[in-house]
């Protein structure tokens, strides 16, 4: 099989071998189906027809909408004194495709059940790093820039409670604060006590080559999830808020 040419809408293939016409038809059908899956965005994303050209669209989620109220209510459940000033939805086509590919890989690894991918929303504070440098980048959350010697080693950390991530909030030049509300692929998570030496999840019990997909811990009153791969988290929402 040799690729002849590829465009955004058409992939031509030259297939050499037995029954090549049927093989070509099957391969094209598979590729088109896979491509369609990668370009399947959440139903509430806006202006998706422009994504292939613009690559990144940041949309404000307006105050009073169902989407805003749901996010703000969840956020304030552990930060009741906070005032949510703005919610922005990050629509980054390349980061989304990477996330979808990883989701498909984990699903296949765990037997094909979509529920086994175990995607959760959780909070992430970026400290001194401006959030824009994360959602505008090629890798999104990047383990390479995480601190050594953290509680569960060098990983991207996500908290169930916004109160926990408030300790790692980003402070803007206007004196407001920001943090992400991200989608995180947990897959098969391993509950562990603190271990600063971790660089990846441990092996599954009884296996010498299959690892857990994430690590779960508990600190400062919140469940914490650690992922050691950039592709396992997508920075879908950026919250701007003020708090005492």
Query: Do residues 105 and 183 share a domain?
Result: yes
Query: Do residues 22 and 77 share a domain?
Result: no
Judging by beta carbons within 10 Å of its beta carbon (0-12, 13-18, 19+), is residue 59 exposed, middle or buried? middle
Residues 206-218: tens digit of each pLDDT: 999 999 999 999 9
Residues 41-64: tens digit of each pLDDT: 999 999 999 988 999 999 999 999
The pLDDT-based confidence of 182 (bands split at 50, 70, 90) is: very high
Query: Do residues 67 and 151 share a domain?
Result: yes
Query: Do residues 151 and 218 share a domain?
Result: yes
Is 47 within the bounds of a domain?
Answer: no
Is 215 within the bounds of a domain?
Answer: yes
For the chain, percent of residues with pLDDT exceeding 90:
78
* pTM (two decimals): 0.83
Query: Do residues 194 and 94 share a domain?
Result: yes
Nearest to 177 by CA among 75, 71, 85, 67: 85
Query: Do residues 127 and 33 share a domain?
Result: no
| Separation of CA 25 from chain center | 34
Residues 73-110: tens digit of each pLDDT: 999 999 999 999 999 999 999 999 999 999 999 999 99
Note whether 237 and 90 are within 8 A (CB).
yes
* DSSP of 178-207: EEEEEEEE-SSEEE----TT-SSPPBPTT-
Query: Do residues 124 and 8 share a domain?
Result: no
Is 50 within the bounds of a domain?
Answer: no
Query: Do residues 217 and 139 share a domain?
Result: yes
Is 166 within the bounds of a domain?
Answer: yes
Domains: count for the chain: 2
Query: Do residues 11 and 108 share a domain?
Result: no
Query: Do residues 157 and 231 share a domain?
Result: yes
Query: Do residues 62 and 30 share a domain?
Result: no
Q: Whole domain around residue 146: which residue ranges?
A: 55-242
Is 174 within the bounds of a domain?
Answer: yes
Is 44 within the bounds of a domain?
Answer: no
Nearest to 77 by CA among 42, 121, 115, 119: 121
CATH code for the domain of 67: 3.90.228.10
Q: How far is CA 130 from CA 11, 126, 171, 179, 191, in A?
A: 39, 7, 9, 10, 31
Query: Do residues 63 and 27 share a domain?
Result: no
């Amino acid at each position: 099989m040799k690729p002849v040419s590829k465009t955004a809408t058409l992939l031509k293939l030259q297939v050499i071998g037995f029954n090549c016409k049927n093989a070509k038809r099957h391969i094209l059908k598979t590729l088109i189906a896979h491509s369609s899956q990668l370009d399947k965005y959440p139903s509430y994303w806006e202006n998706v027809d422009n994504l292939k050209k613009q690559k990144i669209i940041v949309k404000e989620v307006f105050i009073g909408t169902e989407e805003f109220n749901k996010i703000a209510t969840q956020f304030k459940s552990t930060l009741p004194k906070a005032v949510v000033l703005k919610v922005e939805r990050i629509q980054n086509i390349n980061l989304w495709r990477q996330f979808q590919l990883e989701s498909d890989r984990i699903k296949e690894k765990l037997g094909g059940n979509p529920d086994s991918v175990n995607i959760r929303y959780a909070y992430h504070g970026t400290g001194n790093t401006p959030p824009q440098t994360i959602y505008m980048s090629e890798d999104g959350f990047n383990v390479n820039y995480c601190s050594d010697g953290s509680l569960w080693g060098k990983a991207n950390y996500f908290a169930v409670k916004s109160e926990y991530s408030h300790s790692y909030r980003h402070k803007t030049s206007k004196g407001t604060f920001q943090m992400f509300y991200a989608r995180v692929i947990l897959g098969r998570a391993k509950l562990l006590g603190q271990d600063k030496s971790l660089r990846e999840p441990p092996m599954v019990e009884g296996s010498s080559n299959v690892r857990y997909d994430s690590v779960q811990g508990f600190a400062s009153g919140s469940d914490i999830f650690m992922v050691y791969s950039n592709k396992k988290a997508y920075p879908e929402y950026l919250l701007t808020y003020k708090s005492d």
